[in-house]
Amino acid sequence: MEWLDYAGTEEQQMMRDVARELARERLAPAAEEYDRSEEFPWTIVKEIAAADLFRVFIDEEFDGMAGGMSIHNMALVTEELSWGCGGIALSFAATALGTLPIIISGNDGQKKKYLPRIAGGTIAAFALTEANAGSDAAGIRTTAKKDGDGYIINGTKQWISNGGEAEIYTVFAMTDPSKGARGASCFILEKGMEGFGFGKKEDKLGIRGSTTRELVFQDVRVSEENRLGREGTGFMTAMKTFDMSRPGVAAQACGIAKRAVDEAVSYAITREQFGKPVAANQGLQFLMADMAMKTEAARALVFATAKYIDTHEKRSTKFSAMSKCFASDVAMQVTVDAVQVLGGYGYMKEYPVEKLMRDAKITQIYEGTNQIQRDEIGRALVKEASREAR
């Protein structure tokens, strides 16, 4: 199927082609197996790293891509990989998510220490959520207590993508619980630190090619050099991270939706009922037309937002929330419709569309549910209108 092309430069076209080839040759054929086993796809993750794709969201001076860190590039690669498998692609996207706090709030020393490793394929993770703090992220209870020239971290993080597999973790903890959101700070932790362990690995509905795991901190000692930014700025780092990472979730949703359209139309031209392909029925053509239109509309919003982030100093909260919310709702609808196009076969595991439907669901939930995205958009609209009215 031909889709609108958002790879503008020659470098972007090359990067897109590399990611596309990996998606078709490696991710798509392996997707069913990882969906069944729920193992971490190390072999493929190493190939993604060997293809230099982890460099696309890191600045050139830290061994990243020529031309610098780019959300547009990150979205292009995430979309392509997600066409192959939304779960395996998450190992890439969750690494970008875990790296963004270092890019946003890290000092030069922290960037020099960690970014080149990630650019070379060391995977990262972002640890905010806890059992009692999901949408209300300011309610986290993990603490980082000042101790001499460092901190002692205690607590448990829940549902962390790449948990247990990543080497580098950006972890949010309260340095002053009495201050609420203003009392949170962000720290860089490494696998293997004393007292840093891993708990329950989740058994999930979709994106089963990615690992979702609990992180346990028992008196983990870190130095001040592990703190990103000033004390109390952790929540701001998390929010700025989401501004930049949500188009990544949106791109994952677009990759899944594109695959659903491709699979549905390919099936519909070969499946015959009443002596003709089912695709010859206008009723089904209209459904497929809506699926493709919604997917292209979502892609336009996602890549326009990515471009906005790359070219503006201003925060992109409203547009990032719009792209994440719209693209994930489209992915959910389009994958449900793809199952419908395949009829009973769509419901069976021998065809890939039921997995697409399961994979799409998470994009409406993580990095802020779509209720929270609508909340963000609504608040931004009111704030803008009030400012203009003054």
Name which position in 114, 159, 217, 326 contacts ligand FAD (CB under 6 A): 159
Comparison of 95 and 226: residue with beta carbon closer to ligand FAD: 95
Buried b or exposed e, range 165-196, using 16+ CB within 10 angstroms: bbbbbbbbbbbbeeeebebbbbbbbebeeeeb
Name which position in 44, 88, 94, 278 contacts ligand FAD (CB under 6 A): 94
**371 touching ligand FAD, by CB under 6 A:** yes
Whose tokens are 């509309």? That residue is: 297
Six token digits for residue 245: 């990472």
| CA angle, residues 72, 301, 381, in degrees to nearest 5 | 115
The enclosing H or E element of 242 equals helix 234-270
Which residue's C-beta sits nearest to ligand FAD?
134
Question: How many residues belong to the chain?
Answer: 390
CA distance 347 to 350: 9
Tell me the closest approach of the beta carbon of residue 375 to ligand FAD, in angstroms. 5
Whose tokens are 């209300």? That residue is: 136
**366 touching ligand FAD, by CB under 6 A:** yes
Site mask for ligand FAD (CB under 6 A), range 204-243, x = bound: x-------x-------------------------------
**126 touching ligand FAD, by CB under 6 A:** yes
Tell me the closest approach of the beta carbon of residue 20 to ligand FAD, in angstroms. 25
Residues 320, 243: contact at Cβ < 8 Å? yes
313 a catalytic residue: no
Tell me the closest approach of the beta carbon of residue 161 to ligand FAD, in angstroms. 3
**86 touching ligand FAD, by CB under 6 A:** no
Q: Taking each helix axis from N to C terminus, what angle separates 10-22 and 71-84, rounded to the nearest 10 degrees?
A: 20
Tell me the closest approach of the beta carbon of residue 129 to ligand FAD, in angstroms. 3
Name which position in 120, 134, 229, 277 contacts ligand FAD (CB under 6 A): 134
Residues 356, 260: contact at Cβ < 8 Å? yes
Tell me the closest approach of the beta carbon of residue 366 to ligand FAD, in angstroms. 4
Whose tokens are 């993604």? That residue is: 48
**Tally of CA atoms within 13 A in the half-sphere of 383 that contains its CB:** 8
**127 touching ligand FAD, by CB under 6 A:** yes
Comparison of 165 and 367: residue with beta carbon closer to ligand FAD: 367
One of 367, 376, 384, 388 is an active-site residue; which one? 367
Tell me the closest approach of the beta carbon of residue 324 to ligand FAD, in angstroms. 11
Q: Where are the alpha helices (DSSP H) in 8-85?
A: 10-22, 28-37, 42-50, 71-84
Tell me the closest approach of the beta carbon of residue 6 to ligand FAD, in angstroms. 26
**368 touching ligand FAD, by CB under 6 A:** yes
Q: Is 365 exposed, middle or buried (0-12, 13-18, 19+ CB in 10 A)?
A: middle
Piece of 104-112, 190-198, 244-252, 360-368 that binds ligand FAD (CB under 6 A) = 360-368
Comparison of 7 and 171: residue with beta carbon closer to ligand FAD: 171
Amino acid at residue number 132: N
Number of residues located near ligand FAD, criterion CB under 6 A? 22
Piece of 62-70, 261-269, 297-305, 370-378 that binds ligand FAD (CB under 6 A) = 370-378
Strand partners, 222: 151
CA distance 249 to 79: 9
Six token digits for residue 280: 């010859």
Residues tagged active-site = 367
Binding residues (CB under 6 A) for ligand FAD: these are 94, 125-129, 134-135, 159-161, 204, 212, 362, 365-369, 371-372, 375
